Structure 1
Amino acid sequence: MDRAARQDTAPTAAQALAPDAGVDGLRWHADRWWWTDPDSVALYLWSPGSAPLRSRLPDSVSAFAFCRSGRVLLAQAKWLCFADLAAPPLQGLGRRPPQPAMAVDPAEPRTAISDGSTDRAGNFVFGTGTAAGTPGAASPGSAAGTAGFAPAIGSFYQYSARHGLRRLALPTVAAANSICFSPDGRIMYFSDAATRRIQQCDYDAEAARVANVRLFADAQDARPRGAAVDSAGCVWSAQALDADGHCRVVRYAPDGAALRSELLPAAQPTRPAFGGPGLEQLMVGSAAGLHLMDGAGASGLACTLFNDIKE
């Protein structure tokens, strides 16, 4: 951590709702917050001022993306699936079960999808990791050392309606995390649950080509989990600390310098996201619920819709 960064010593985040439920894959879409809860196998949506609504799923979902067609792309353990949204005035998912679209690494039972996000061109980029229950695997949110994780057998992929599934030439990982993109889409950020580093690489969305993999930031005493990029090109990283039952959210400048660090009263953070009017509200998901944080005047970028319409 850059010593010049502001570091608050007491938790500053206010827990907003769902204190006993896990919040993962947090997104802002259609004036609502959306997230998954792996423990209850459900997709939630929440309009501020009302109670969260739940749509049950047949399997847990580690990431999802809204589509140009109005559907939702769901990343389950070994499958990418499409689900329909309910017809207005109903909310959430429709009654038809999610429809499988693409199997992911079907010959390797030890892996499962761990994180994913759309790139700026509308492709879905995701990574896998060692599946839960695999001998030697540790939870991606745990504070175990690198030796506590199973061998690095996870990979990165790009999925598109035009080209299908294409593997990205990135190093294998114990579990892919922190997948996000610079405002112009030319830089991809990612991390491995077994390390304390956030990496970056040059990214060509059309060719599904990566190059010049390099260190972006070293979290030193924490493990980066989810991440998001704001309108200024800064990376907001939710990080699990080694001790004391808290996590932190760090804002990094485009050159990797740590600009701001805030403690959060939760042990296992997931993904930060910007939402609300003007995308000026910063929310962070965790195993203990949804947290509203001070974004210090930063604003986010709207999530790119997955282009599921073949042209």
Structure 2
Amino acid sequence: MTVFDATPCILGEGPLWHPGRGELLWFDIVNCRLHSASRQWDFPEMVSAAGWISQDEVLIASESRIFRFNLGSGTEETLCALEADNPETRSNDGRADPMGGFWIGTMAKAEANGAGAFYRFYKGELRKLWEGITVTNAQCFAPDGRTAYFSDTPTHQVMRVALDSHGWPCATPEVVLDFTAQGWYPDGAVTDAAGNLWIAFWGRGCVEGYTPSGEKLQTYDFPCPQTTCPAFGGSDFSQLYCTSAARDLTNDNPANGQTFAVDTPLKGRAEPRVLL
């Protein structure tokens, strides 16, 4: 394990290895900031997740909208509103799906029970998928695009749902992993090339792997308790990156909020391009 970037984030989230640029992007939600290893971009409201559109453009979810953003020029274009009429909520975890859509969750800034929802943005349309969610997390997808995973973190469960040929849910979600007995909190997640889930656990300081059938694979530990979201990247997608958070921690551990990288024998894959 190495410290990829020592910049402490209050709430690090949304790591994305941009395959066209060969670099990692990630967010500090509370500080309204997008990071890369070489620079940062500040916004007037909280931002939390991204998908890549082209070499220079990414789609970003914020507390009030989904917009396209040019990493070089800094220009932006709003694509749609995202609970813009509710100042109590913000965006949280999000990820592109293999069909070119983008899944994004919302939640209350104060984490009020049931105030959030999961959405999918696809070819210009934003559709609400499920509401009554408290902390939206873990959106990731089987490599063939026919299965999605997600979590309402306080439930301690990771859900699975079948998708149709256009990437829309076509069945009732079911529990695939249940950590209630352990009291564990699944946060962000990503799948590898084989379809295994790699989940960051808030409060455990780790990313842990599971097969689609629920068999535990391996644990990667990090030197901070609030691990938030993993991503695969590097030249062969065998590096596992993980963001973390320093929010509400009162100790003087300098690792809190840093972004980490670990070389693995795993094989990830490039994140899908968002189709507009």
Q: TM-score, normalised by structure 1?
A: 0.78
Where 2:47 maps in the other structure, the secondary structure is coil
Q: 2:79 aligns with which of 101, 112, 135?
A: 101
Is 1:299 the equivalent of 2:267? yes
Distance in 1 of aligned mates of 2:89 and 2:170: 22
2:74 match: secondary structure: coil
Q: Which residue of structure 2 aligns with residue 262 of structure 1?
A: 220
Once the 2 structures are TM-superposed, how far is the Cα of residue 84 of structure 1 from its aligned partner?
1.4
Indicate the SS of the match to 2:154.
Answer: coil
Q: Deviations over 1:223-247 (max 9, x none)?
A: 0111000011100000023xxxx42
Distance 1:291 1:69, change over 3 A: closer
Give secondary structure in 2 for the equivalent of 1:284: strand
Root mean square deviation, CA, Å: 1.9
The residue identity in structure 2 corresponding to 1:35 is W
What corresponds to 1:53 in structure 2? 39
Q: Number of residue pairs matched?
A: 260
Larger radius of gyration: 1
Name the structure 2 match of 1:129: 107
Alpha-carbon distance in 2 for matches of 1:69, 1:282: 22
Q: Hey, what's the Cα distance between the residues in 1 that align with 2:25 and 2:191?
A: 18
Aligned AA for 1:20?
P
Are 2:199 and 1:237 equivalent residues in the alignment? yes
Kept after mapping to 2: 8 A contact 1:119/1:125: yes
- Name the residue aligned to 1:217: 177
Distance across 1 between alignment mates of 2:244 and 2:233: 17
8 Å Cα contact 2:13/2:26 also seen in 1: yes
1:67-106 equivalent positions in 2, closer than 5 A: 67-68=53-54, 70-86=56-72, 94-96=73-75, 98-106=76-84
Aligned equivalents of 2:58 and 2:115: distance in 1?
Answer: 28
The answer (yes or no) to whether the contact 2:102–2:120 under 8 Å persists in 1 is yes
Encode CA deviations 1:157-211: one digit per residue, 9 max, x unaligned: 111225x11122x363102100000001111000012221111111225262331
Amino acid at match of 2:262: M
Between 1:258-267 and 1:118-127, the stretch displaced more is: 258-267
Distance 1:18 1:280 in 2: 21
Work out the CA distance in 1 between the residues paired with 2:155 and 2:118: 16
CA 276–294 in structure 1, closer or farther in 2 if over 3 Å, else same: closer
Query: Is the 8 Å Cα contact of residues 50 and 61 (structure 2) preserved in structure 1?
Result: yes
Which consecutive residues of structure 2, in runs of 5 or more, have no partner in the other structure? 246-256
Gaps of 5+ in 1: 1-12, 47-51, 87-93, 138-149
